[in-house]
Chains A and B, each alone.
Chain A
Amino acid sequence: MTATRTPSDQSTSRPLRRPGDRIFAGTAKAAGISILVVLAGVAAFLVVEAVPAVTAPSGEIPGGEGLVGYIAPLLFGTLLSAAIALVVATPLAVAIALFITHYAPRRVAAGLGYVVDLLAAIPSIVYGFWGVYWLAPKLVPLFRWLEENLGFIPFFAGPTSSTGRTMLTVGLVLAIMILPIISAISREVFLQVPTLHKEAALALGATRWEMIRMAVIPYGKSGIIGGSMLGLGRALGETMAVALVLSVSGGITLNLISSANPGTIAANVALEFPESTGLDVNTLIASGLALFVITLAVNMLARWVVNRRADFSGAN
């Protein structure tokens, strides 16, 4: 930069720092480092404990098809259920956030926002019970209809599960679980859109929806993506609800409405862990390591997507 420098910048002596500043900077730095330490600790534990499973002969891994053969269907099930949840929840959450911030009368908006936040406070096991006993049976007729009318799409090939405990049901339960996170974060960024930008759009003769498309959604895009990633993280790691709802039997399939579904990593760990010993435990931990790596990769991908057009983020 060519900006003029003040003399103190050029001198080699350290600038005067007050004790309060130093203490605060130190505390903040320590808090930041502690996150890295915890993360490194978890990663180290996963790697160390997974090594025996990685080095073991493939015949000794549960299922008898090696570690990759064991983890692959679980990983597929995890990603598929989370993807369904994200595809369903993101547009809905953004629409809810837009309604609350730009369309609803103030009193309705406050109440609705509170109700959506309340969804986040429900324990996941309650979602699980709700999914099994209420949602799944109710979805069976819909699955039948999908099989009959859209059966040519691999997702709806059938045969329809008679209990409704399918991959699609899990995806929908997960969608409801991650809805409040995405909606709350989208709502916050939509509220932060400067009035200046909204008025700029309105003064050009934009309708309210055009104003939202021109000024609000582009400005809030990084927030929507960030919220989705937090939601995705929860969907990938969700254990109890999936363990309760999903009927697991079988391997990789795109069929969302049959009773033969791949499991998910987290739910599989919860179900198998109590009865596992020795190498079985190492195998479960290795699957956990795979989930850890996938989650990290997804988050980095999202960050890359957000930063790619950082100049246009509106933050400057």
Chain B
Amino acid sequence: MAKRIDVSDLDIYYGKFLAVQGVTVSIEPRSVTALIGPSGCGKSTFLRSINRMHEVLPGARVEGKVVMDGQDLYSADVDPVDVRRQIGMVFQRPNPFPTMSIYDNVAAGLRLNNKQTKKADLDDLVERSLRGANLWNEVKDRLDRPGSSLSGGQQQRLCIARAIAVEPDVLLMDEPCSALDPISTLAIEDLMTELKERFTIVIVTHNMQQAARVSESTGFFNLNGVGQPGRLIEFNPTEKIFSNPDEKATEDYISGRFG
């Protein structure tokens, strides 16, 4: 439950290309940490390196350490599959499995981890997860319908339910609201505030108001130019980042005087 993540001197490569350089940061449990910065600065790459999703792409690798409660996630004896079972992820575009019902989508992760679950327990868990994602009341009468029959905002909450159903320690969210309308966005932001009681949440967002609304800490990523690696410029409590940042680049970015 809700573990702490310490990243030290993390360099992330795609083949020979150094995409992100020298990230050192501590992510507190039971809080929302927001990552902001311009497009292509490596926020998403960094986020995906936390649960080893970036190495799905051929040639992608990291140097440095990502430690979760004392365990180095990149040590040789750690299976990335196990890492991903502990660190859940919600993607930019809602991606429920189109071939599965709403129920099966939520149960998918549990069926992977534990094949022998009683039907009643599974029902229970599906309800709990959907309630956790504030979606239960909207879908309880049509759990056997395909996940793709829901609206975009509902699909994204379904994806959140699917991610939290396996009780991960950490929840990563990669621009979870960028494809959603303001009302759905608000629903997800409210949800994040509830979920941080139980999980460590890291969110990448392009919406600075969103970062200011939901997060306790904010990291600002930037890069010096095209082809240069992205860097973590500043990491501070959100309040400080948005009122009195240490770095001039951060201030320029959040006040719109950028580029």
Contacts and interface: CB of A to CB of B under 8 A. Distances in A.
A219 interface: yes
A205 B166 contact: yes
A239 to B, nearest CB: 38
B113 interface: yes
A259 to B, nearest CB: 46
Most chain A beta carbons < 10 A, residue from B51, B93, B148: B148
A206 B145 contact: no
A207 B82 CA distance: 9
Q: How large is the interface on B (under 10, 10 to 19, 20 to 34, 35 or more residues)?
A: 20 to 34
A200 B113 contact: no
A312 B146 contact: yes
Interface stretch (B84-92, B116-124, B206-214, B246-254): B84-92
B145 A311 contact: yes
A203 B99 contact: no
B81 A312 contact: no
A36 interface: no
Nearest to B172: A203
A312 B84 contact: no
A200 B81 contact: no
Contacts of A303: none
Given A199-B56, A203-B88, A311-B149, A215 B97 contact: yes
A276 interface: no
Interface residues of A, number: 24
Nearest to A203: B89
Given A205-B113, A210-B112, A199 B53 contact: yes
A208 to B, nearest CB: 9
B162 interface: yes
Interface in B26-61: 51, 53, 56
B108 interface: yes
B40 to A, nearest CB: 19
Interface in A203-253: 203-207, 210, 214-215, 218-219, 221
B24 interface: no
A314 interface: yes
B97 A214 contact: yes
B182 interface: no
Contacts of B112: 204-206, 210, 214
Interface in B61-84: 81-82, 84
A201 B113 CA distance: 12
B151 interface: no
6 contacts: A199-B53, A199-B91, A203-B84, A204-B85, A312-B99, A316-B98
Given A203-B88, A219-B99, A311-B146, 5 more contacts: A196-B95, A199-B53, A200-B162, A203-B89, A314-B99
- Can you list the 4 inter-chain pairs with the closest CB atoms, starting with the nearest? A205-B85, A218-B99, A314-B98, A203-B89
Interface of A: 194, 196-197, 199-207, 210, 214-215, 218-219, 221, 311-316
Interface of B: 51, 53, 56, 81-82, 84-85, 88-89, 91, 93, 95-101, 108-109, 112-113, 145-146, 148-149, 159, 162-163, 166
